[in-house]
Amino acid sequence: MNQPDLPRPSDAASTARSEASGAVVPDRRNELALIRTDLANERTLLAYVRTSLMMAGTGGTLVKFFGDSKDLLVLGFALIACGAALFLVGLSRCRQQSLRIRNRN
């Protein structure tokens, strides 16, 4: 069942929100869109943190419990290093995106 399209707010409504001085009041939808984008950026950072902790935790487990095997020891330290690197990449990308979002205002 197709539902009919709902009427969209016209640009006249946002243009009508101007002050007597002629300055246009910022559109609330744009502000909310920036907030949603910022929250999505934080969720992405949390996904990076979760993945890097999982990698480093797996590496630590391999080192602690299978340290007598040289191959698993190397794999464990590699996973710890990859987890730390992934955390730094996620942090860097989050900061870049956050600055990009804030500079759009």
Specify the residue for token string 């500079």. 103
CA 66/CA 25 separation, integer angstroms: 63
CA 6/CA 64 separation, integer angstroms: 60
Q: Nearest-CA neighbor of 72 among 80, 84, 81, 63?
A: 63
CA 61/CA 24 separation, integer angstroms: 59
Under the banding of pLDDT at 50, 70 and 90, the label for residue 2 is: low
Which helix or strand (DSSP H or E) is residue 82 part of? helix 70-103
What's the alpha-carbon Rg for the chain, to the nearest Å?
A: 24
48-61 pLDDT per residue, tens: 999 999 999 999 99
Contact criterion met (CB below 8 Å) for 9 and 27: no
Q: Would you state the pLDDT for residue 103?
A: 87
3-49 pLDDT per residue, tens: 555 555 554 444 444 445 555 556 888 888 889 999 999 999 999 99
**Can you give the pTM of this predicted structure?**
0.69
